[in-house]
Amino acid sequence: MKYQIRFTVGELEGKVFPIQDGEALTLGRSRSNNVQITAPDVSGHHVILNKTATGIKMDNVSSRTTTVDGQPVPAAQQDYPLVAGQTVTLGSVTAFTLEAIDDQPPKINLSSQKTATDDDDQDTRLDLQPKAPQATENDDDEHTVIDPTPKPQASQDEDSTAIDLNKPAAPAPKPAPAPKPAPAPKPAPAPKPAPPPAPAPTPEPEEEEEEGDENATIAMQTRMATAEEMEFMKGKHQKERSKQFWLTCIAIFIVINILIFVYRFYFYRAPEKFASWPMSESGELLATNLQFEGCPWFREIDIEYPDVEGATIEKTPGNIKVNTFIGKYRDVPLFLTVEYFQDFESLSKSRQTVFEEWMAKKASGNENWNFDVMRPVNFYQYDHGIPYVSVSYSRTKDSESFYGIAVMIRMEEWIFILLKEIPMRERWHAEYFVNLVCFFRFSEVFQNVHWEGLAEQAPGTTQENLGEARQLLMRRSPSVWQKAELLLKSALCKYRMEHAEGNEYETAIKLLKDLRENQIHYFNAQKILMIKANTTKDLVSMRNLQDNLKAVFSSEEDFRFHKIRRNQWD
């Protein structure tokens, strides 16, 4: 006896799973089961079906609901007997029925089987035992076997045929040949041969009649469509074409939108309106510093540049070249060139004069430099600031045009000139970047002790200038600070130009640092008063404070000079 289960309720409804001999059939939600059921109220391993000598046994290994014909099966029940026809329910939405299959083929007794043969209520009983032929007639080399044994006639009330298949079948008797038509008598001889009679007209074959009838039927079934039917078919065809057209348009529209979506979010890069400093994926600036080798101020001033993939650096004494990239996508080339050198003659020249001499030297070369008008002095950092001058330019090199900004700052007799260049084709969105970004980095020490050459120096020797500046600073009056700063810078310029030895340089630097500390304290105190007066709308106090500050900070070489006149107090 073979068994199988047939699911009657649930996701596997209608499916059949056989129970093999010696193999357990496991059911549950886990993929390791023979039958996987994904219903949420079925356990990972719910039941196990085993075929034994006495029938089917079920092991309930689930703590969830399991019933047999509505009767609950206890959890962890082993060897629960099942009978064919019983229905097992797992959870609430899954059920199967145990079915038994007889593995022995059914025995059929063909000797007593009766089969209806025709619709005329006539039966034929055949005896397939071999019979010896009784008589033989020879007619035109054809043999007919006649069985003289009388056979009982089948009853008209019994519609059956008995066939005994256990005996060898005898050859079927040949049908008797149809009798030959009698030969026509020969006509009597005539004295004269009569002419052959005219052939009789052959009748039309029945096939042609049938074909004619069929054509007539088709002709009867085929007719001309009416105008209304033609309009209906035409409209239906147009609707189908219109429907196909709009479905095609919708499909094309969907495909185009999908392509646009993929391109927009995976390939498209929105152009930047203004180039920016490149950043890493975490949002940090990609920057590295370069020091000025061979310069005594290399610890106090350096260059910061975008450190991106593909950046190159070339260093020579007094010259640094950096080729890098800027922008969100790092697609805008940036060329930085720093020239730094000593020029003791510049200690007696103004800033503008030194810069103009450098521009004239560049314009006389073979690179076709074109400089614009020099821009007004500006400042880096804060407080008194570090003054610098700049100019925009364009040049051509190797048949390619560049746009750039040249910036010059001075410290003692040292001159630092920074060239910031971009290709002319990128000027429309990178010009703002090269104008705004400084690239120089200054330490606090550099800012506190910064000084540069003067075209108009105070008369007297280095010692005389130092002595007079010391006396003025001892008075602690803001009104004399401007003169004291001029005397200290003059003493420093003379000291560096004469290459003198002694402690005068350190003394002048110390006095300069003290002066700048006093200026910072005084300016901050006045700024607080100015903010208070502005809050209370005390215009008289504001005007007096501003006039006072203009008198104290009267040098254009001081950043605060410009802030006071612009009324900037932040």
DSSP sequence for 125-183: ----S-----EEEEETTEEEEE--S--PPPPTT-------TTSPPPPPPPPPPPPPPPP
Average pLDDT for residues 508-536, to the nearest whole number? 93
**Mean confidence (pLDDT) of the chain:** 82
pLDDT at 106: 57
Of the candidates 462, 449, 492, the one whose C-alpha atom is nearest the C-alpha of residue 347 is 492
With cut-offs at 50, 70 and 90, classify the pLDDT of residue 112. Answer: very low
Average pLDDT for residues 241-252, to the nearest whole number? 94
Angle at 410 between CA 408 and CA 415, to 5 degrees: 75
Q: Is 465 exposed, middle or buried (0-12, 13-18, 19+ CB in 10 A)?
A: buried
pLDDT at 205: 45
Least confident interval from 124-133, 264-273, 451-460 = 124-133
d(CA 478, CA 558): 15
Average pLDDT for residues 354-369, to the nearest whole number? 88
With beta carbons less than 8 A apart as the criterion, state whether 303 and 321 touch: no
Does the structure show a pLDDT above 60 at 141?
no
DSSP state of 325: E
Average pLDDT for residues 489-494, to the nearest whole number? 93
Of the candidates 275, 303, 526, 532, the one whose C-alpha atom is nearest the C-alpha of residue 418 is 303
The number of residues making up the chain comes to 570
With cut-offs at 50, 70 and 90, classify the pLDDT of residue 196. Answer: low
Percent of the chain residues past pLDDT 90, beyond the cut: 59
Average pLDDT for residues 47-63, to the nearest whole number? 92
pLDDT at 465: 93
Does the structure show a pLDDT above 90 at 220?
no
pLDDT at 503: 82
pLDDT at 270: 76
Least confident interval from 54-63, 179-188, 332-341 = 179-188
d(CA 509, CA 196): 160
With cut-offs at 50, 70 and 90, classify the pLDDT of residue 435. Answer: very high
Q: Is pLDDT larger for residue 158 or for residue 269?
A: 269
Average pLDDT for residues 312-321, to the nearest whole number? 93
pLDDT at 53: 85
Strands 135-139 and 16-19: unpaired
Average pLDDT for residues 336-357, to the nearest whole number? 94
Average pLDDT for residues 304-325, to the nearest whole number? 94
Of the candidates 88, 161, 168, the one whose C-alpha atom is nearest the C-alpha of residue 130 is 168
With cut-offs at 50, 70 and 90, classify the pLDDT of residue 162. Answer: very low
pLDDT at 173: 52
Cβ neighbours around 410 below 10 Å, total: 24
With beta carbons less than 8 A apart as the criterion, state whether 68 and 77 touch: no
With beta carbons less than 8 A apart as the criterion, state whether 2 and 100 touch: yes
d(CA 561, CA 570): 14
pLDDT at 107: 56
Span 223-245, pLDDT tens digits: 566 787 788 888 889 999 999 99
Of the candidates 336, 340, 339, 342, the one whose C-alpha atom is nearest the C-alpha of residue 289 is 336
386: enclosing H helix or E strand: strand 386-397
Of the candidates 332, 338, 339, 336, the one whose C-alpha atom is nearest the C-alpha of residue 323 is 336
With cut-offs at 50, 70 and 90, classify the pLDDT of residue 570. Answer: low
Percent of the chain residues past pLDDT 70, beyond the cut: 78
Average pLDDT for residues 437-442, to the nearest whole number? 94
Average pLDDT for residues 18-42, to the nearest whole number? 92
Average pLDDT for residues 363-390, to the nearest whole number? 90
Average pLDDT for residues 502-512, to the nearest whole number? 88
pLDDT at 468: 94
Q: Is pLDDT larger for residue 238 or for residue 185?
A: 238
pLDDT at 422: 96
Long-range contacts of 390-395 (CB under 8 A, 24+ apart): 391/355, 391/359, 393/369, 394/369, 394/370, 394/424, 395/367, 395/368, 395/369, 395/370
With beta carbons less than 8 A apart as the criterion, state whether 59 and 77 touch: yes
With beta carbons less than 8 A apart as the criterion, state whether 28 and 45 touch: yes
Average pLDDT for residues 87-94, to the nearest whole number? 93
Of the candidates 1, 36, 44, 32, the one whose C-alpha atom is nearest the C-alpha of residue 17 is 36
pLDDT at 524: 93
Tokens of 223: 């007719």
